Chain A
Amino acid sequence: MIKVEHLSKVYGNRVAVWDLSFDLKKGEILGFLGPNGAGKTTTMRMITGFIPPSSGTATVAGYDIAEEPLKVKGEIGYLCEAPPVYREMSVKSYLKFVARLKKVPRSRMNHCLDRALQLCGLEDVAGRVIGNLSKGYRQRVGLAQAIIHKPAVLILDEPTVGLDPRQIRDIRSLITELSGEQTVILSTHILPEVTVTCSRVIIISEGQVVAEDTVEGLTEGLSKSETMTLRVERTPEGFQGALAALDQVVDVAVESPNRFQVRLEGGDATRALLANTVVRSGAGLLEMARSTATLEEVFLKLVTEEPEGEVA
């Protein structure tokens, strides 16, 4: 449905996005994850045709973004970073305007309008002026605007920013609902969002892809090395060194005087060995628990451990 090939964007001598490629099938939800300034918004703007790429191409629903931009734009619903609303308009007249702009036929106008209002929970404020709505409601109007013409592709730039927890849950389930018939790309720097809604994740940092996988794949990848939380009664001389000296232990971090985070590889065998070592050292083992890798760890690991030096 969406095919991105070697997309790059360079502003002056600043690289915003570098050599980005991915392929998205119909009905998939792609989470675009990255810290501030990673290039998420820039990538979305290139796919939606707001800015042209410096090099590379993308096709949406079979249309090339450079050759048939109008066809591409017709297939996309786009919620940009700041909801693109006219503050002086009422919710209803604004959505009608967008629907006409997106070439919704007159006969389907009312149906599309009602559907968007209902899906985004806007029925109660349909007659109100957008400028007087709260930020969260304005965000919902932005979302309604993106889905009003039932586009084949939805591109959402941080769709849950500024919403309260209940609204966030509603919007997430809405996105999940919409997939299936619609292909979705959403960007975020909130990790649970990706775990909850997305089928695939691309982690991007400083304009480059650092990981691309399913959510499960990514968490699994990290759990080859696992982290154990260790609590002991006392720490005899050389205790930490003894642990670190074990072959399969990658790293020992002191959390508080009697509490350690031990990263190790090799699964059960290493864990048994670790327990043995602790007991033999006479530290008095109080607790040893496995902390499962969250996507957050994957994210931090990938983003912070990326070797430096390739972005100008």
Chain B
Amino acid sequence: MSAILTIAKREIQSYFASPIAYTIIVIVLLMMGFGFLRGLLPYSALFTANAAMAEEAGINIRNYIVREMIFWAQISMMLCMPALSMRLFSEEKKNGTAELLMTSPVTTTQLVLGKYLGAVSILGIILALCSVFPIILELLANPEWAAMGTAALGMLLYGMVILAIGLFASSLTENQIVALLTTYALFLPLWLVDSMVGFMGGILDEILAGLAIGKMIRMLGQGLVDSHHLFLPVFLVSVFLFLCTQVLESNRWR
């Protein structure tokens, strides 16, 4: 455990030693803030026009603001998380520090988990900063904290999936750009599959529906918690972290 924390801690320090972490945090927050305003402005316009009617028509925070924010969370994290993960192993390989890690008394699993934990911590910081949005809402209306909680959970799981894929991609190459593009290439289909569901028919449709990561975060954003939607990200993260350990092990056998 302490080996995992040691590696994670160094990773976090290294993120903040360069502008990467700051830039990514700012971009995600800006895009989320944009989504927040895009939801908040029409919502408050409708509400100030006729509160009773708006309530009756089902115009509430969840429908309006959270939905908008969840959309922008997906876009911003899809763009930014791969940039966060691309250097994790690629840079170590390029700088020769992989040789230090691989000849230290730590297992490959500890190494992978440490790296992953480091990147997920940055995601955690982003989500913590995102709590300004419900706090602002609290001042205006009731933000429905439970739904906000599940929305945050959805964002966390969604980001964790991308980071796991990104970690795996960076173990494949010492070129960070290649790692970045590989992450996009692997994640984009998972995200787009959502819109394909219903056209294939039969078992294929069910498989596609099962892998639709976009649906997972949307449902959680609406406060709908379903065991399948929790299982999917956990499954994807485990698979890619496992693949990552396999790649690192097999690199040594070459």
Contacts and interface: CB of A to CB of B under 8 A. Distances in A.
Interface of A: 11, 45, 48-52, 70-71, 73-74, 76, 78, 80-89, 93, 97-98, 100-103, 145
Interface in B4-36: 6-7, 10, 13-14, 17-18
B123 to A, nearest CB: 21
A102 B105 contact: yes
A89 B99 contact: no
Contact of A50 (B18, B106, B252): B252
A73 B104 contact: yes
Contacts of A82: 95-96
A100 B13 CA distance: 15
B13 A101 contact: no
A71 B14 CA distance: 29
A182 to B, nearest CB: 17
A103 B6 CA distance: 10
A100 B99 contact: no
A145 B101 CA distance: 12
Interface in B51-90: none
A50 B14 contact: no
6 contacts: A49-B102, A83-B96, A84-B99, A88-B18, A101-B101, A101-B106
Given A52-B253, A103-B105, 14 more contacts: A11-B254, A50-B103, A70-B105, A70-B107, A73-B104, A78-B103, A85-B97, A86-B10, A88-B14, A89-B10, A93-B13, A100-B2, A101-B106, A103-B3
B100 interface: yes
Chain B: interface secondary structure? Answer: helix
Contact of A86 (B2, B6, B97, B102): B97
A76 B99 CA distance: 13
Nearest to B18: A88
Given A87-B95, A89-B17, A100-B6, A80 B253 contact: no
Contacts of A81: 96
Contact of B95 (A11, A76, A86, A93): A86
Nearest to A131: B17
B6 A74 contact: no
Contacts of B14: 86, 88-89
A76 B17 contact: no
Given A80-B96, A100-B6, A51 B252 contact: yes
- Among B96, B100, B107, chain A packs the most CB atoms within 10 A around the CB of B100
Q: Enumerate the 8 nearest inter-chain pairs by beta-carbon distance, A residue then B residue, closest first.
A: A84-B100, A88-B17, A74-B105, A82-B96, A100-B6, A73-B105, A48-B103, A80-B99
Contacts of A103: 3, 105
B104 A101 contact: yes
Contacts, number: 74
Q: How large is the interface on B (under 10, 10 to 19, 20 to 34, 35 or more residues)?
A: 20 to 34
Contacts of A48: 103
A84 B3 CA distance: 18
B103 A97 contact: no
A45 B100 CA distance: 11
Given A51-B252, A70-B105, A88-B14, A101 B95 contact: no
B103 to A, nearest CB: 4
A45 B251 CA distance: 13
Contacts of B100: 78, 80, 84, 98, 101, 145
A50 B99 contact: yes
A103 B106 CA distance: 9
Contacts of B102: 49-50
A183 B115 CA distance: 33
- Among B14, B18, B96, B103, chain A packs the most CB atoms within 10 A around the CB of B103
B252 A52 contact: yes
A98 B10 CA distance: 10
B253 A76 contact: no
Contacts of A87: 95
Contact of B6 (A84, A89, A97): A97
B144 to A, nearest CB: 43
Contacts of B17: 88-89
- Among A83, A93, A101, chain B packs the most CB atoms within 10 A around the CB of A101
A306 B123 CA distance: 59
Contact of A84 (B13, B95, B107): B95
A84 B74 CA distance: 37
Nearest to B251: A51
A102 B104 CA distance: 6
Contacts of A86: 10, 14, 95, 97
Nearest to B99: A80
Contacts of A45: 99
A131 to B, nearest CB: 10
Contacts of A145: 100
A100 B9 CA distance: 11
